[in-house]
Amino acid sequence: MKMEIERKPNGGSTGGIGFIGLLQIAFIILKLCGVIDWSWFWVLSPIWISFAIVIILVIIFVIYNKTR
């Protein structure tokens, strides 16, 4: 008896860690190993810069929808 497995294409994202996440991990490792002498403000910048971009886009979206 032969059984075949039906393979379905992945319709969404694969999840996992993205570029910003990898950059954040790299900055933290470099800081903890003493390779870079940045303040923690800049080491954690991928997190807060991404957050700031999202907040700015939400504000633009809200303003745009109020004017329509």
Tens digits of residue pLDDT in 31-57: 999 999 999 999 999 999 999 999 999
Residue type, 26: A
Provide the pLDDT for residue 2: 62
Query: Comparing 35 with 13, which gets the higher pLDDT?
Result: 35
The answer on pLDDT for 67 being more than 90 is no
The conformation of residue 8, written as its DSSP 8-state character, comes to -
For the chain, give the mean pLDDT.
Answer: 87
Residues 40, 31 contacting (CB under 8 angstroms): yes
Rounded-to-integer distance, Cα 35 and Cα 42, Å: 14
H or E element that contains 62: helix 45-67
